[in-house]
Amino acid sequence: MAITYELIKQCPQTGARAGRLHTPHGIFDTPIFMPVGTQATVKAMSPEELSTMGAGVILSNTYHLFLRPGHKLVEAAGGLHRFMNWDRAILTDSGGFQVFSLGPLRKITEEGVAFRSHIDGSKQFLSPEIATRVQMSLGADMIMAFDECVPYPADYEYARASTERTTRWAARCREVHTRSDQALFGIVQGGMYKDLRSQSARDLVAMDFPGYSIGGLSVGEPKPLMYEILDHVVPELPANKPRYLMGVGTPDCLVEGVMRGVDMFDCVFPTRVARNGTLMTRQGKLVVKNAEYAEDFRPVDHECSCYTCRNFSRAYIRHLLKAQEIFGLRLTTIHNLHFLLDFMRKMREAILNDEFVNFRRDFLAQYGLH
Amino acid sequence: MAITYELIKQCPQTGARAGRLHTPHGIFDTPIFMPVGTQATVKAMSPEELSTMGAGVILSNTYHLFLRPGHKLVEAAGGLHRFMNWDRAILTDSGGFQVFSLGPLRKITEEGVAFRSHIDGSKQFLSPEIATRVQMSLGADMIMAFDECVPYPADYEYARASTERTTRWAARCREVHTRSDQALFGIVQGGMYKDLRSQSARDLVAMDFPGYSIGGLSVGEPKPLMYEILDHVVPELPANKPRYLMGVGTPDCLVEGVMRGVDMFDCVFPTRVARNGTLMTRQGKLVVKNAEYAEDFRPVDHECSCYTCRNFSRAYIRHLLKAQEIFGLRLTTIHNLHFLLDFMRKMREAILNDEFVNFRRDFLAQYGLH
């Protein structure tokens, strides 16, 4: 097995669990948030900055690397870890989500998806076999089956046909995948329909993947509906395999996902809003570009131990962002990633101490949600 | 005295000299190159990255900080060192060069210069007194008298009148400057006219500044003419004070400046071209964006010990720049600054070992200049 999930503690009142994932590139504790390094770099960060803040695994995007610089180039470089000088774990998505997001620029058949590159408009094609081979070239520790993310809303018939095709595609991915140092995850789809979600989960579990992703959530549906689907799906998944909720990364959704038994999360949210000047705190967001912070010489968050909060003031960060200085983007990105990684560590600690229910209650109150 | 220049070794064959400058924020060895941190940040760099590569002093721009975030804000933050979290030496220019570069947007009188902000078009005014007070608020270790950089070409009468005014302005700066923990440098002007240069130098030396800058060079004149002016000016300056050649930072000009007895240099060149993908090496420039480096997995320079060269390939850096990733700008900036700082260290070593003449000869041959 390329990866092994070790269950360390199950919350007695909820589905929350603390675990540990063993990979060919190190061990990381779960639940965990994975910073997104779309183009073989987590925007504005160095590998050392990511290690220092405790990132044990990052995500990279197959769609982007397939188009630029090309998976064969990355393979020739010695794989993605070596290319970007990151020696901890990496997870790649399959490219499915990105090509389906291209809208009129793509065409889906049973064989795969024809699309045009967002970079140069060239004709491209991804299929379960190609996406899997591309990910084998990239060499991440965990890779994803090629799937269609059912849009929201979608009628039942569309969702059913799409989900069944995703299941057939998962079998094709499994067929061509040969790297024993990589774990291929199946992706549960099914839209907002519980019976389709159950069917998808059961079909994939029957194929015995080393890990399971939950796709097609956080795509525009109301949060309570996402939580309801999670309530329904997670119990269908085996307890001895990691569960990854794709594209989710706001603090409230992380707590709710963890409560329902999810182990892994990723999202561009913390890094994207950071570059816009929005900083995450336990009390909610702090928009550091606002005029009120012009002469505020306090750190962003006095409780935070990140590099940014230890060394720089709100006034300085605001100045850098106003002056469009790169270092400003570095400082805000460091803070937000540190915040989320630390948030997950604290959540895990709470699970280990049988305090998760209190942790969630206190967080929701502090965050202004309850 | 805010600063003390210690002469350690004089080259027996040339004007080159190795020294050491003692400042309220540490000691640095000379000759030295000062990275430029225009807006209270060296573009793309953290203070720790600058320290790691051995930067002992950086330059920041009064014009920019005066307009944004404002010197009073920086003063309220505890001064520039604290604002940007840099505990080594800082030198600020006077703003003169920037306001004169605004062309039709500025008007010079004996009193000072009226101009419009490049940020919001607002009316602004700088004078010797204001520029000095602004620099006292910023709190750099070395500050510059407010001067006019005589443009090239300039007729004799213009150059004479301008240079004489710069001298009068220097006296006015000296009059209002009261911080004993700051050294105010006089700036030698005079355009390309040797007699005006001599007069300027003598008038300033008579005022007994703790350091002398040479301005108005590298403004479009042929390099041999710049070297000729340096040959003429440097001997006019006292041996026990530091000499700073403003705005010069290409390797060939650094060697020629050092040979003529200059101790300090600054230039945006290495950081600006870095962000364009041009990397400096002893063999000349390497334009890493070029297609020939697409699958080149070697470091930029196998002789270089910088973070970039120790950890990343040309192919990866090219990919980052093509993909417009911030980390690419960080890696190229680190390399170029490290290259220039290291180049200066090697030059100093050569002076100490009575090898400067050979160093210069070898460099010029390798760089393809002789």
The answer on pLDDT for B332 being more than 60 is yes
Contact residues on chain B for A87, CB-CB shorter than 8 A: none
With an 8 Å Cβ cutoff, are B294 and A73 in contact?
yes
The set of residues, in sequence order, having a beta carbon less than 8 Å from that of A59 and lying 6+ positions away, is A34, A35, A36, A37, A90, A91, A92, A93, A266
Looking at residue A67, its pLDDT comes to 97
pLDDT at B230 over 70: yes
Query: What mean pLDDT do residues B164-189 have?
Result: 98
pLDDT band with cut points at 50, 70 and 90 for residue A369: low
Is A325 at the interface with chain B, CB within 8 A?
Answer: yes
- What phi and psi, each to the nearest 5 degrees, are found at residue B58? -125, 165
Question: What's the pLDDT at B55?
Answer: 98
Residue A89 tokens, joined: 């774990």
Rounded mean pLDDT, A133-161: 97
pLDDT for residue A370: 53
Say if residues A211 and A185 touch (Cβ distance below 8 Å).
Answer: yes
Does pLDDT of B370 surpass 60? Answer: no
Q: Is the pLDDT of residue B86 over 80?
A: yes
Structure tokens at B357: 């003449």
Alpha helices in chain B (DSSP H): 47-52, 62-67, 71-76, 80-84, 96-100, 128-138, 156-176, 194-206, 223-233, 251-259, 269-275, 307-311, 314-322, 326-352, 356-366
pLDDT over 90 at A202, yes or no = yes
Cα dihedral value A220, A223, A224, A225, nearest 10: 30
d(CA B119, CA B98): 13
Q: Any idea how long chain B is?
A: 370
Closest CA in chain B for residue A72: B295
Q: How confident is the model at residue B27 (pLDDT cuts 50, 70, 90)?
A: very high
Residue A368 has pLDDT above 80, yes or no: no
Å between A109 CA and nearest CA of chain B: 30
Task: List, in sequence order, every residue forming a beta bridge with B7; answer none if it has no partner.
Answer: B19
Active site residue B93: yes
Task: With beta carbons under 8 A apart, name residues in chain A contacting B327.
Answer: 41, 43-46
Task: Provide, rounded to the nearest whole percent, the portion of chain B with pLDDT above 90.
Answer: 96
Checking if the pLDDT of B191 tops 80, the result is yes
User: Read out DSSP for B41-105?
Assistant: S-TT--HHHHHHTT--EEEE-HHHHHHTT-HHHHHHTT-HHHHHT--SEEEE--SHHHHHTTGGG
- The CA distance from A310 to the nearest CA of chain B, in Å, is 10
Window 284-303 of A: residues touching B by CB (8 A cutoff) are 294-295, 297
State which amino acid sits at residue B318: R
Can you give the pLDDT at residue B283? 85
Element (H, E) at A4: strand A4-10
Tell me which chain A residues have a C-beta less than 8 angstroms from the C-beta of B76. Answer: 295, 297
Q: What is the pLDDT of residues A221-244, one digit of tens each?
A: 999 999 999 999 999 999 999 999
Q: What is the mean pLDDT of chain A?
A: 97
CA distance B83 to chain A (A): 6
Q: What is the mean pLDDT of chain B?
A: 97
For range B129-141, the mean pLDDT: 98
Cβ contact, residue pair B313, A77, below 8 Å: yes
CB contact under 8 A, A313 and B77: yes
- A325 → chain B, closest CA residue: B43
At B83 the pLDDT is 98
pLDDT digits (tens, 9 = 90+) for A297-306: 999 999 999 9
CB–CB of B40 and A319 under 8 A? yes
Nearest-CA distance B313 → chain A (Å): 8
Q: What token pair was written down for B45?
A: 């760099």
More confident residue, A105 or B261: B261
Identify the active-site residue in B203, B266, B301, B342. B266
Percent with pLDDT over 90 in chain A: 96
pLDDT at A301: 97
pLDDT of residue A145: 98
Is there a catalytic annotation at residue B266?
yes
Residue B28 parent element (H or E)? strand B26-30
Helices (H), chain A: 47-52, 62-67, 71-76, 80-84, 96-100, 128-138, 156-176, 194-206, 223-233, 251-259, 269-275, 307-311, 314-322, 326-352, 356-366
Closest CA to B232 of B195, B279, B206, B269: B195
b/e map of B86-97 (b: 16 or more CB within 10 Å)? bebbbbbbbbbb
Residue A69, preceding peptide bond in cis (omega within 30° of 0) = yes
Q: Residue A287 forms beta bridges with which residues?
A: A278
The pTM is what?
A: 0.98
pLDDT of the residue at B369: 64
Question: Does B329 sit within 8 Å of A46, measured CB to CB?
Answer: no
> Which amino acid makes up residue B77?
A
- Please list the active-site residues of A: 93, 266
User: Has residue B104 got a pLDDT over 90?
Assistant: no
Name every chain A residue with its beta carbon within 8 A of the beta carbon of B46.
Answer: 327, 330
How many beta carbons lie within 10 A of that of residue B144, not counting itself?
29
pLDDT at A189 over 90: yes
Contacts of B328 in chain A (CB under 8 A): 41
Residue-level length of chain A: 370
Supply the pLDDT for residue A357. 98
> Residues B293, B358: contact at Cβ < 8 Å?
no
Would you say residue A161 has pLDDT above 60? Answer: yes
User: For the packed helices A194-206 and A223-233, what is the interaxial angle rounded to 10 degrees?
Assistant: 40
The ipTM, to two decimals, is 0.98
